[in-house]
């Protein structure tokens, strides 16, 4: 009896683990059950216009999803204050990394005739699996976080998918070049976080540095599921000069950095845009690649005072820009009080946000053609990354 119970418990426990941490099958797609002709169906715009908002509000990545939601809602609140017509976010919880939820959310949005376009989803793997249902419903979507290069360069989402973050093949070379030519590092450890965002960036940086003849060691750890990095830290050679951590959970990177220092290792940490979080990641001397934003921007200050409750949550900032673009596209499409989803998509594609109005630090305009590493739906140059350094007092200062 005891044996049976134990086996049953084991099965239950493993099933629970799989439910909580698994389901991460990036290429799983299926066709959506959406009304025929949803793409061209004429929708009455009304006074309140709805935007689908797909983000991980609960689950392991909830801290990121809630930042994104706060920034998206912040734009909507500001817009609604300034306009007679109103915007409304219809939130879908994708529970990253459970991609099955992302599919369900996309299907719900596609069948909801009120929704004109979608902001999100967050993860590259979620964008992949949401493509079929969103496309089936004629919905365009903009992600403020999905960076996998192939999402725009493989040609399958042209005119449907857009993003307000530069892709991995823009960020990776910038970081690798900085490590090689500015830090003159020769012994580097790359630690990926076992998700598509992180492995993509890690692969790019590792490849470039290895091609340059540098000593690169690759490590891997699940940032979401690991509470103690001390054994990983023990594996990092004492003479390592740079540890590249393209992660998304700043508190986990902070712990990793603290354990690195506590173990007496002085390697400099180099984080990606996912770690640009002055409230949570503040290991002095560390470098981070991020957009050339104006940290003294009034909008960021207002966010910090308002929904941020003292935090700037800068990881979610591109989601603000994504919502801003959708808002503008809807306004344009609804001029005659009715619009189709196809019209909104076309208007997203042609929306331009001048530098003065863009929180990202550069004008936002989408590329129309493939010119590697940029594909249609990516932001055109000068969209790129700056390099920031964390000072002894925890402040972020742009150094390149």
Partner 1 sequence: MDLPLAFDGTLFVQLLVNGLTLGSLYALIALGYSMVYGILKLLNFAHGDVYMVGAFIGYGTLSALGGPLSPNIGLLPLIVLMFLAAMLGAGLLGVVIERFAYRPLREAPRIAPLISALGVAFFLENSVLLLFGADFRSYNSFVLGSPHPERFELGPLFKPAFKVADVNVQRIQVAVLLITLALMVTLTFVVARTRIGKAMRATAYDREGAAMMGIDVDRVIASTFFMGSVLAGAAGVMAGLLFSQVFHLMGFLAGLKGFTAAVVGGIGSIPGAMLGGLLVGLTEAFATGYVGGRWSDLIVFGILIFVLLVRPSGLLGAKAIQKV
Contacts to partner 1 from residues 270-329, by CB under 8 A: 280, 282-284, 311
Q: Between 17 and 31, whose beta carbon lies closer to partner 1?
A: 17
> Whole-angstrom Cα distance, residue 261 to residue 333?
54
Nearest approach in angstroms of CB 139 to partner 1 is 27
Q: Minimum distance from CB of 62 to partner 1 (Å)? A: 3
**CB 279, min distance to partner 1, A:** 9
Distance, CA of 125 to CA of 26 (rounded, Å): 5
Distances 201 to 41, 184, 194, 272, 383 between C-alpha atoms, Å: 40, 20, 11, 8, 17
3-class DSSP state of 361: coil
Q: Tell whether residue 336 is a contact of partner 1 (CB under 8 A).
A: no
The site for partner 1, by CB under 8 A, has a size of: 55
Using CB under 8 A as the binding rule, whether residue 204 contacts partner 1 is answered as: no
Binding residue for partner 1 (CB under 8 A) from 44, 77, 225, 338? Answer: 225
Interface residue with partner 1 among 2, 81, 335, 369 (CB under 8 A) is: 2
Half-sphere exposure for 267 (CA within 13 Å, toward CB) = 30
Q: Which stretch binds partner 1 (CB under 8 A): 32-40, 135-143, 339-347, 388-396?
A: 388-396
* Interface with partner 1, residue 266, by CB under 8 A: no
H helices, E strands: number in the chain: 12, 16
Note whether 15 binds partner 1 by CB under 8 A.
no
Indicate the DSSP class of residue 127.
H
Name the residue nearer to partner 1 (CB basis): 234 or 399. Answer: 234
Draw the binding track, 55-84, toward partner 1 (x: CB under 8 A; -: no contact).
---xxx-xx-xx------------------
The DSSP element (H or E) to which 17 belongs, if any, is: helix 2-21
Beta strands (DSSP E) in 241-360 are: 242-245, 268-271, 287-290, 338-339, 352-353
> Which SS3 state, helix, strand or coil, does residue 86 take?
strand
Ramachandran area for residue 220 (φ above 0: left; ψ -120 to 50: alpha; else beta): beta
| Positions 120 through 149 that interact with partner 1 (CB under 8 A) | none
Q: Does 219 bind partner 1 (CB under 8 A)?
A: yes
Please tell me whether residue 117 adopts helix, strand or coil conformation. strand
> Rule CB under 8 A: which residues touch partner 1?
1-3, 5-7, 9-10, 12-14, 16-17, 20, 58-60, 62-63, 65-66, 194, 217-222, 225-228, 230-232, 234-235, 249, 251-252, 254-255, 258, 261-264, 280, 282-284, 311, 392-394
């Amino acid at each position: 009896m005891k044996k049976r119970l134990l086996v049953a418990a084991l099965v239950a426990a493993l099933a629970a683990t799989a439910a909580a941490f698994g389901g991460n099958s990036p290429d799983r797609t299926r066709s959506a059950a959406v009304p025929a002709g949803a793409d061209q169906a004429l929708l009455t715009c009304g006074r309140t216009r709805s935007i689908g908002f797909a983000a991980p509000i609960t689950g392991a990545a909830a801290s990121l999803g809630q930042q994104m939601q706060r920034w998206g809602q912040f734009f909507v609140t500001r817009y609604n204050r300034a306009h007679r017509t109103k915007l409304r976010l219809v939130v879908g919880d994708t529970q990253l990394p459970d991609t099955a939820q992302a599919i369900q959310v996309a299907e719900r949005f596609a069948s909801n005739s009120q929704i004109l376009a979608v902001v999100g989803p967050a993860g590259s793997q979620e964008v992949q699996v949401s493509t079929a249902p969103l496309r089936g419903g004629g919905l365009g979507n903009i992600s403020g976080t999905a960076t996998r290069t192939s999402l725009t360069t493989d040609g399958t989402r042209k005119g449907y998918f857009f993003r307000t973050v530069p892709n991995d093949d823009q960020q990776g070379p910038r970081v690798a070049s900085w490590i090689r030519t500015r830090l003159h590092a020769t012994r580097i450890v790359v630690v990926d976080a076992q998700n598509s965002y992180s492995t993509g960036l890690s692969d790019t940086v590792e490849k470039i540095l290895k091609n340059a003849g540098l000593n690169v060691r690759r490590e891997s750890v699940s940032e979401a599921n690991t509470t103690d990095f001390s054994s990983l830290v023990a594996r990092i050679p004492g003479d390592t000069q740079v540890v590249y951590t393209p992660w998304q959970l700043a508190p986990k990177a902070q712990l990793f950095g603290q354990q690195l220092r506590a173990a007496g290792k002085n390697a400099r940490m180099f984080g990606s845009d996912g770690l640009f979080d002055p409230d949570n990641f503040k290991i002095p001397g560390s470098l981070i690649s991020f957009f050339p934003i104006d940290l003294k921007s009034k909008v960021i200050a207002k966010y910090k005072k308002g929904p941020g409750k003292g935090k700037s949550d800068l990881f979610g900032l591109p989601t603000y820009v994504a919502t801003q673009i959708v808002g503008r596209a809807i306004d344009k499409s609804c001029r005659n009080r009715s619009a189709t989803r196809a019209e909104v998509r076309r208007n997203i594609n042609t929306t331009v946000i001048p530098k003065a109005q863009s929180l990202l630090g550069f004008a936002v305009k989408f590329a129309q053609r493939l010119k590697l590493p940029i594909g249609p739906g990516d932001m055109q140059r000068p969209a790129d990354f700056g390099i920031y350094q964390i000072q002894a007092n925890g402040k972020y200062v742009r150094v390149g």
